Amino acid sequence: MEGFEEIKANVKKLPKISPKKILALIIILGLIIIFFTGFYTINPEEVGVIQRFGKYLTTTEPGLHFKIPFGIDVLTKVKVKQVYKEEFGFRTLRAGVKTQYSTRSYDNESLMLTGDLNIADVEWILQYRIKDPIKYLFKIRNIEETIRDLSESVTREIVGDRSVDEVIVISRKEIADQIQISLQQHLDDYGAGIEIYTINLQNVNPPDRVKPAFNDVNSAKQEKERIINEAWQRYNEVIPEAEGKAKRTIEEAEGYAVNRVNRAQGDAERFIEMYNQYRNARSVTKKRLYLETMQKILPKIEKVYIVDEAQQGILPLLNLDKEGK
């Protein structure tokens, strides 16, 4: 009792506050609360989504705005210009000049079966932006998990339609583009409000246990390609040369044939002309032919003998040897 009386006495000693001061204090306190909870700022790279009693009300652009405080209007800021990133098959612990990656295994994400029943270890990066903040906030629950599940499902589907060589070496860019198109279609069907910025197949390799055998196969394929390329190079060197020689031979043969035909036609025409002249002047033509023939024959004869038909033997009258000529 004595303690209670002492407290009561101390309370009576406190200065009395008038109701006006209390009201003024409440008003000031309310203004402070309204100022700090009612006014808000939206940065240039984001928008503000306002909900009133849980129902979507409006979207505010960058700048200074006001909302009803005391939990009536609830603000959610959405970074619509920021590029978000999801990693599959690996995790980046710290990015920089020397990027550090997690040593934990993520084979459950990256190991995939290809169309030719081989296994590929596929690591990829998904980058996206929020194009519709309303759909992003209200259409899908756990949007990040949905994006990851869809990305993994689409990637496995597309990789499963390709051979291991296409996935690892030949068609990586084509596969990434196909994943981006298909994933965007699925997200649009779900109304996710997400725009896929890029898909990058970061690292695609065979599993560690089969890398030596895979490297041997690649070496054999490269050797095969090298031999084929050398054969084609030799083919391109020899075949055009042979074709050129064949073409030249054909052209020479055609030219020779034309020349022979022309010469034969000329000889025939000359013979016919000579024959017509012989028919008109047989004695003159006969003598001329005889003389022309002798002009061709005599220079080739080493010794000349003149024979008199009236004599019984040969008359050695002339010394017509080579020197005598």
- Take residue 128 and report the two structure tokens written for it: 């996206």
- Regarding whether 124 and 170 lie in a shared domain, the answer is yes
> Where a domain ends, among 38, 61, 78?
78
Quickly list DSSP for 131-159: S-HHHHHHT-SSHHHHHHHHHHHHHHHHH
Backbone angles phi, psi at 4, to 5 degrees: -65, -40
Query: Is 7 exposed, middle or buried (CB count within 10 Å of its CB: 0-12, 13-18, 19+)?
Result: exposed
- Regarding whether 133 and 32 lie in a shared domain, the answer is no
- Regarding whether 219 and 192 lie in a shared domain, the answer is no
- Regarding whether 160 and 94 lie in a shared domain, the answer is yes
| pLDDT confidence of residue 281 | 73
Query: Which CATH number fits the domain that encloses residue 144?
Result: 3.30.479.30
- Regarding whether 160 and 255 lie in a shared domain, the answer is no
- Take residue 209 and report the two structure tokens written for it: 């246990």
- Regarding whether 242 and 223 lie in a shared domain, the answer is yes
Task: Judge whether 288 lies within some domain.
Answer: no
| pLDDT confidence of residue 294 | 83
- Regarding whether 258 and 225 lie in a shared domain, the answer is yes
H or E stretch including 177? Answer: helix 172-190
What total number of domains does the chain contain?
3
* Spatial separation of the C-alpha atoms in residues 124 and 172, rounded to whole Å: 11
pLDDT tens for the 325 residues of the chain, in order: 555 566 556 555 555 566 666 666 677 776 677 766 788 899 999 999 999 998 999 999 999 998 888 888 899 999 999 999 999 999 888 877 677 888 888 888 899 999 888 888 999 999 999 999 999 999 998 999 999 999 999 999 999 999 988 888 888 899 999 999 999 999 999 999 999 999 999 888 888 777 777 777 777 878 888 899 988 888 888 888 888 888 888 988 988 888 888 888 888 888 888 777 777 777 777 787 788 888 888 787 776 666 666 666 555 555 555 554 4
| pLDDT confidence of residue 316 | 53
- Regarding whether 126 and 63 lie in a shared domain, the answer is no
pTM metric for this prediction: 0.60
> Where a domain ends, among 78, 97, 128?
78
> Where a domain ends, among 191, 206, 221?
206
- Regarding whether 89 and 68 lie in a shared domain, the answer is no
Domain hosting residue 222, numbered range: 208-280
| pLDDT confidence of residue 47 | 95
- Regarding whether 151 and 91 lie in a shared domain, the answer is yes
Cβ neighbours, 10 Å, residue 128: 22
* Spatial separation of the C-alpha atoms in residues 268 and 276, rounded to whole Å: 12
- Regarding whether 195 and 126 lie in a shared domain, the answer is yes
Task: Judge whether 73 lies within some domain.
Answer: yes
